[in-house]
Amino acid sequence: MSVLQTSPFRLSSQPVQDGWCAVLRNALYRGVEAASGLAELDAIYRGNDWPRQPRAFCEQALRLLQIDYRVNPAELDHVPRTGPAIVVANHPFGGLDGIIAAHLLTGIRSDLRIMVNFHLCRIDELRELFIPVDPYAGEQARRSNSRPLREALRWIREGGCLLVFPAGDVARYSVPQRGVREVAWNPMIGRLVRMTAAPVVPVHIHGRNSWLFQTLGLLHPRVRTFMLPRELLNKTGRQVDLRVGRPVKYSRLQRLDSDEKVTRYLKMHNGLLARQSAVDRQPAARNHVDGAAVIAATPADLLQAEIAHLAPDQCLLTHGDMQVFIARAAQMPWLLQEIGRLRELTFRAVGEGTGRAIDLDHYDTYYQHLFIWHRSRREIVGAYRLARVDDIVSRHGRQGLYTHSLFRYGNRLLDYMDPAIELGRSFVRPEYQRHHTSLLMLWRGICSYLANNPRYRYLFGPVTISGDYDRHSLCLLVDSLRLNNGQPGLRVKPRTPLPNQRPAFLADEDLHCVSDIDLVSDLIAQIEADHKGVPVLIRQYLKMGGKFLEFNVDRDFNNAVDGLIVVDMKQTAPQLLQQYMGRVGADAYLKSSATSRHD
């Protein structure tokens, strides 16, 4: 009888019986071990003294395998130092993922536990970290996993940290998707989150196994399993990049109503971290606008004189030092010049703008201008321009509308919205953007205008998304708005369509599960180096029930993306209208606003 095998890298740890069958079996085992790389791992394991402490074990394994990893030190702060936490990681390599993640996280949390394939419990030095599960499908596996699931729940609820690889299997080549993809995540992770209310930290491990592994793995899943030890060995000399995302709070996740949706959302967070290396991740340079120097500010005395000549009923409202006025270009040449100057400065600051010395065009000459005037500072705070669509079309045709220069549409859209007001070119100068008062005043001004002209029921116009956004952020936002907040069927076409650059791992099913714009904003903030989310104005329109019709790339506005949005004010929540119009004004507007022909 042979000696008991204790190495975790041998195919059998049972005593080997003498005889021809045993000889053949041993020969087969040794051949498989040699071909797969298990024998080489076994030699490394047997040829070294291994520390019993898990982190030291992982450190020695990485040193002997000559594998290093790097992570942005600032991102380590994303892992809570105490209290319940769940870490979800992708699974690109196999055993190396666990070694790297365990080494990283045990340096932050001494109370780390890892849900792993039960076969890995053969590694004695790491066993204290493990909560073993059976990753294979079937009723027996589900029954056997109930105990480790309860153990994981107890660990988290008692304030511990749990690392999970929800894929349960190594990323592999997908023929339909034409690339290496993370397999679907087990919805068990969603159940753990919903049962513990713990924050979730996504960790993305960059990389993939060799193309030989991907190709031969298409033959049979067991071929992939056979090749995993060799894949670990061929990473010698490699440096692996990690990204540690910001924690996803349960207050966000509880908005999703199923384990599957929570799991999908967390997988999206993880996948979006793959955009670039953690070490190289720096706030993107502004989408620079080349162009002329912006004109000098208009003297305040000239502005004040024009304000004084406006009729009393052109002041729509007053709040403290701020007043909201409505006027036409002929009444306010100096004010309009200052609005054009401030537009260009404000838009350039966020990577937009025309590149001209002043942002004015021929539409400004016959549109109306709604603006905030600060009395004591004698300056313009922000502005919108607006047009009564029926009036413009009767005098200039559809071509007289600014939106028609961005989108192709016919009478179908205009009939649907009749009567409507087109809004656009909105801005709040940078020094007033820290507070919501300015935007609130603009919207109170718009709603006051509607209250004075109650037959106008619809607002529509372009809302701009800056070119400063990462292309993945931009496509995520646009596709989400199309799927969850779109209104097809009105035959609107962009003049310059937005290229489809959606990340391959994001499917429509993923985007449907995040219809909440706050969840989309968190995903975008995970991508953006400066953590910006969804633009404030898009949130404002959606809050009012806005629907997006199409998206266009504006070549004349530094390649910013314009979304054409329609808001049916009759469908806006009454409480919101009351906030802008007051209870009496909102009730009167809703009673007298026009009934559209499609009601």
**Contacts of 339 by beta carbon, 8 Å cutoff, 6+ apart:** 360, 369, 371, 380, 383
Alpha-carbon separation of residue 481 from 171, 309, 505, 528, 534 (angstroms): 30, 43, 18, 18, 11
Question: What does the block give as tokens for 334?
Answer: 């100096």
Q: What is the pTM of this model?
A: 0.84
Residue 232 CA to residue 103 CA, distance in Å, equals 16
Alpha-carbon separation of residue 378 from 214, 306, 333, 339, 427 (angstroms): 67, 12, 16, 13, 18
Residue 92 CA to residue 101 CA, distance in Å, equals 12
Other Cβ atoms closer than 10 A to 148: 17
In residues, how long is the chain?
599
C-beta separation of 497 from 597 below 8 A: no
Where would I find the beta strands (DSSP E) of 429-577? Answer: 458-465, 493-494, 547-554, 560-568
Looking at residue 367, the DSSP 8-state letter turns out to be: S
Question: What does the block give as tokens for 51?
Answer: 């520390």
Other Cβ atoms closer than 10 A to 559: 14
pLDDT in tens, the chain (599 residues): 233 346 776 676 555 555 666 666 666 667 666 666 677 777 787 878 888 899 999 999 999 999 999 999 999 999 999 999 999 999 999 889 999 999 999 999 999 999 988 777 778 788 889 998 877 656 666 677 788 889 999 999 999 999 999 988 888 888 877 888 888 899 999 999 999 999 999 999 999 988 887 888 777 777 777 778 777 788 888 999 999 999 999 999 999 989 999 999 999 999 888 875 544 554 444 455 567 899 999 999 999 999 999 999 999 999 999 999 999 999 999 999 999 999 999 998 888 888 899 999 999 999 999 999 999 999 999 999 999 999 999 999 999 999 999 999 999 999 999 899 999 999 999 999 988 899 999 999 999 999 999 999 999 999 999 888 888 888 889 999 999 999 888 899 999 998 877 777 777 888 888 889 999 999 999 888 888 899 989 999 999 999 999 999 998 888 889 999 999 999 999 999 999 999 999 999 998 865 545 55
Residue 563 CA to residue 547 CA, distance in Å, equals 10
Residue 35 CA to residue 29 CA, distance in Å, equals 10
Domain annotation for the chain: domains and CATH numbers: 1-47 (no CATH), 49-275 (3.40.1130.10), 300-592 (3.40.630.30)
Q: Letter for the amino acid at 85?
A: A
Beta bridge partners of 173: 180
